[in-house]
Structure 1
Amino acid sequence: MTASYQTIATRLDGNVLFATFHAPPINLIGPEVVRDLVGLVKELSQPATARVVVFDSADPDFFFPHVDLTKVPEYTAEAAKAGGPGDASLGMLFRKLSEIPAVTIAKLRGRARGAGSEFLLACDMRFASRENAVLCQPEVGIGTPPGAGAMQHLTRLLGRGRALEAVLTSADFDAELAERYGWINRAVPDSELDEFVSGLATRMGNFPRDGLIAAKAAVNAISLPPPAVVRADAALFQQLVRGEAAQQRTAELFKRGFQTRGRTELDLGDALGGLPAVD
């Protein structure tokens, strides 16, 4: 690895790259994070890079809480640099992440909601702290369907009924329930999570690169959604997130401390359920 990033600290250990997100105050996905992700994805798309990448967060409370809703045009413009204006969306950036010639593992502590959850879903594997992990797709509770891959990935992983439960309720899922539903690979006791993920990453990093990448590509060919539906989901999100209902509900959330380190963000699933109804 040669590049340095504003919001991602990287460390190469043998054939494993550890990438830690650090975007204070609460790791919102804004233009700086997206700019760094675009750069890292491009770097990891080159031959002879790390065979395994482990993503985690420096913030114990927030992996990625969601996108920065005050900077949608800015982070979308950064995402476009991954492939051009026609692919100006987090969904297409995350799809490129799914296709890189390396195995990607998300190690989850804290909250991964909205596009944070969708980032995890774009990774090849997800392992979460049993005591300290929360997943949620809050978009419908705000006024728009998810737009960066959740509907495609969750339907494939969870099945129709459970995917609809996850998406339509905008409720928080703890690690045990997420494991039971298939949202994550495993819920691991927090005290064992680091050693477990490092051991798994090192094991795969010692395998021949060609075998790893050929197997991943074959599974991707079966399981990844086509680009056209990823683009359609992104377009619908971009349309409805600017709509009147979403604007009203986000304004109310901001009054209650949205996008700050307080109870509204810590318990966003509950906060969404407590908002007044709108048509």
Structure 2
Amino acid sequence: MPNSVHEVNHNLPALSTISFSIEERVLFAELSAPPMNLLGPDLARDLVSLIKYAESDDKIQVLVFKSADPAYFISHVDMTRVGELKAEVSKLEGADSLALLFHHLSASRLITIAQIEGRVRGVGSEFVLACDMRFAARETGIFGQPEAAFGLIPGTGAAQHLTRLGGRARALEILLSANDYDADLAERYGWINRALPAAELDGFVKSLAHRIAQFPAAGHVTIKQRVNAIALVAADEVSRDSNLFVEGVRNPESQQRIQSAMKKGLQTRDGEMELGRMLGE
């Protein structure tokens, strides 16, 4: 039977952008940061709190992330509040940037699964890439790394992950085009594990999460450590990308392009429904 949240979360501070439930050894987290799940300081703070709590409870083996908004999983970083993120992320020991927060998640003992519906771009894409597995709704999943349109490099690991997953040529296509990719193409490029019909996605992820959670936790840790030794980029490499992103944001041309995009609908719910097309214009 699912555990009552009130029986297990007495050490967890109130979260304003994430709701969750615990079923046996699986924690299901639902992201909700209206109007479009931008990753700003509030969501960053709640992610830190949730990760610290889940890691502190030995009974929790699997952490599943999904969105309360079927159109947006995590749209991207809140460009107007980038300077406020470090204070929140630094509450996780050893992390002073989103890049290191995501790297921590990849290295965590927890098995993490992203259940994706809607748009996941920029830092949102990098968040799901930091998760151990990614499954997306075929009808609604949209993926993108729009940074190149502003003269920027992705700052939280996309270049590292996508090159390892899809190869050099596909990583360059994704990163340089700043375009949108549907779930079927994302699956073909290795961006996600599978694209599934939306009606099957929830049941599939729940079944997989519970199947994994029933096996010995020590095996999870050893397997993940060995796979990470082969495939996970070093923390200093993602830190370098983070520094390059911050440097790029200060560039006057990048600022001009960001402001121009804001006027055309960047960071508005309707304006970003087809962000890839808008950036190409």
TM bracket (short chain): over 0.9
Q: Tell me if 1:133 matches 2:146.
A: no
Give 1:80 deviation, angstroms: 2.1
Match of 1:237 in 2: 245
Distance 2:176 2:99 in 1: 19
Distance 2:59 2:180 in 1: 36
What secondary structure does 2:141 align onto? strand
Give 1:44 deviation, angstroms: 2.5
Give 1:5 deviation, angstroms: 1.3
Give 1:236 deviation, angstroms: 0.3
What secondary structure does 2:56 align onto? coil
Q: Tell me if 1:266 matches 2:258.
A: no
Distance 1:184 1:174 in 2: 11
Distance 1:223 1:47 in 2: 27
Match of 1:277 in 2: none
Q: Give 5+ residue unaligned stretches, structure 2.
A: 1-7
Q: Percent identity between the aligned chains?
A: 50
Q: Tell me if 1:58 matches 2:95.
A: no
Distance 1:37 1:76 in 2: 13
Gap change, CA 1:223 and 1:24, over 3 Å in 2:
same
What secondary structure does 2:87 align onto? helix
What is the aligned residue count?
271
Q: Is the 8 A contact 1:16 1:50 kept in 2?
A: yes
Q: Tell me if 1:30 matches 2:22.
A: no
Match of 1:91 in 2: 99
What secondary structure does 2:39 align onto? coil
Give 1:47 deviation, angstroms: 5.1
Give 1:45 deviation, angstroms: 2.6
1:214-271 deviation digits (Å, cap 9, x = unpaired): 1111111211111111110000000101211211111111111211111x31111111
Distance 1:49 1:175 in 2: 33
Q: Tell me if 1:18 matches 2:28.
A: yes
Most deviating of 239-248 and 171-180: 239-248
Distance 2:242 2:51 in 1: 19
What secondary structure does 2:140 align onto? strand
Distance 1:104 1:258 in 2: 30
Which of residues 179, 186, 200 is equivalent to 1:178? 186
**1:204-243 equivalences in 2 (<5 Å):** 204-243=212-251
Give 1:49 deviation, angstroms: 3.9
What secondary structure does 1:128 align onto? strand
Q: Is the 8 A contact 1:128 1:187 kept in 2?
A: yes
Q: Is the 8 A contact 1:44 1:101 kept in 2?
A: no
Distance 1:81 1:104 in 2: 20
Q: Is the 8 A contact 1:137 1:167 kept in 2?
A: yes
Name the amino acid aligned to 2:217.
R
Q: Is the 8 A contact 1:131 1:175 kept in 2?
A: yes
Match of 1:6 in 2: 16
Q: Is the 8 A contact 1:151 1:167 kept in 2?
A: yes
Match of 2:110 in 1: 102
Distance 1:265 1:245 in 2: 21
What secondary structure does 1:135 align onto? strand
Give 1:89 deviation, angstroms: 1.3
Alpha-carbon RMSD across the aligned residues, in angstroms, is: 1.1
1:102-153 deviation digits (Å, cap 9, x = unpaired): 1100000000000000000000000000011000000111220000010110
What secondary structure does 1:24 align onto? coil
Q: Is the 8 A contact 1:44 1:100 kept in 2?
A: no
Which of residues 52, 58, 63 is equivalent to 1:48? 58
Which of residues 154, 166, 172 is equivalent to 2:162? 154
What secondary structure does 1:265 align onto? coil
Name the amino acid aligned to 2:276.
G
Name the amino acid aligned to 2:145.
Q
Q: Tell me if 1:193 matches 2:196.
A: no
